[in-house]
Amino acid sequence: MVVFYILIGIAALLIVIAAVLYFITLYSKPKRRLIPWDMPTKDHEKHMADPDLVLTEGWIREILDLPYESVGITSRDGLKLAGRYYSFSESAPVVIMIHGYKGDGPADFRGIFQAVRSLGYNILLVSQRSHSESEGRTIALSLRERFDCLDWARFAAEKFGPERDLALFGASMGAATVLASSELDLPESVKCIAADCGFTSSKAIVIKIMRELKLPFLYPLVWLGAFLFGGIRITPKGAVDAVKKNTRPLLFIHGEKDAFVPCDMSREMYKAAAGEKRLVTFENATHLHSYIFNPEAYTKELSDFFGKYLPIHK
């Protein structure tokens, strides 16, 4: 009997640890605003400790000051997902931009947003589930978000009509999301996909982080926490598998010095991808900093890619 109670105690302890790991890694409570950019808060002060954000805050503020149309969809599991549509030209194609893990559109696409705008495109900037203006509590590392991406694409196809061309553009987890959606039944009007600093799969990125923390032995408990409390199964299948079934032109972008999502993950996906594809790496760039390190080269890559596969018909 004593052994039985000891085993029960150990099981309970493991579940508690799994719960803690879930809340640390995948739980997120949106604050219904684009934090920390829309008002001076403690969150804003904390972010401004990053010198890079101090230098690029003007780009973020510029995005926030632009007029936009609030749009939204309901996810397949009933969440209200929010987006901001920026119309710069009535007839131009629309680039659907999807941010990364615990980020938001204005921050993750700072500078990039301006580059896409300068090329003449309209922009649909969405808030991922469990982030900023959207509902949700669990960040699913693209496992659920890929279906949200599909639904955003269908929303855009219906809103703008089948004659209006679309592109998907993701940053970090958003890049994994758009790439993972490439195997789904996207609307015909989605002509191409761009991905900056995407990871190969949920399992690959979690294990990478756990190894860096010298805690790889906790991975089973992270998996258990995600399953018990988030309802998701972290899996080795992800964007790297989806792109094998891809039929659209793909642009992979990555910083060579990315310490968060290794550049080799984009190389692996590029190698695996079917269809037309291009891989561009930036030698000195860290995570989501390729545009910041070389805006001219980054803009040229977008211009060449979108110009070929997402032309603006005047």
- Domain residue limits, the chain: 34-201+237-309
- Helix, strand, coil % (nearest 5) of the chain? 45, 15, 40
For residue 125, the surrounding DSSP H or E stretch is strand 122-126
Return the pLDDT at 132: 87
Span 195-215, pLDDT tens digits: 999 999 999 999 999 898 888
Q: Which of 288, 234, 235 is nearest to 261 (CA)?
A: 288
Rounded CA separation 186/94 (Å):
15
Q: Residue written as tokens 């099981």?
A: 11
The CB density around residue 228, as the number of other CB atoms within 10 Å, is 12
pLDDT mean over 164-175: 98
Rounded CA separation 47/251 (Å):
30
**Is residue 164 exposed (0-12), middle (13-18) or buried (19+ Cβ within 10 Å)?**
middle
Average pLDDT value over all residues in the chain: 89
**Does position 220 have pLDDT exceeding 80, yes or no?**
yes
More confident residue, 34 or 158: 158
Identity of residue 243? V
Return the pLDDT at 39: 46
Return the pLDDT at 303: 98
Span 4-47, pLDDT tens digits: 657 666 666 667 676 677 767 776 766 655 555 554 455 545 55
Query: Is 285:292 a contact under the CB 8 Å cutoff?
Result: yes
Q: For strand 190-196 and strand 166-171, is the pairing parallel, antiparallel, or unpaired?
A: parallel
Span 269-282, pLDDT tens digits: 999 999 999 999 99
Question: Which distant-in-sequence residues (6+ apart) come within 8 Å of 285 by Cβ?
Answer: 254, 255, 256, 257, 258, 292, 293, 294
Predicted TM-score of the model (pTM):
0.91
Return the pLDDT at 25: 74
Span 284-306, pLDDT tens digits: 899 999 999 999 999 999 999 99
Span 40-82, pLDDT tens digits: 455 545 554 565 666 678 888 899 999 999 999 999 999 999 9
Q: Which of 194, 215, 137 is nearest to 310 (CA)?
A: 194
Q: Which fold has domain 34-201+237-309?
A: Rossmann fold (3.40.50)
pLDDT mean over 204-231: 89
Query: Is 194:305 a contact under the CB 8 Å cutoff?
Result: yes
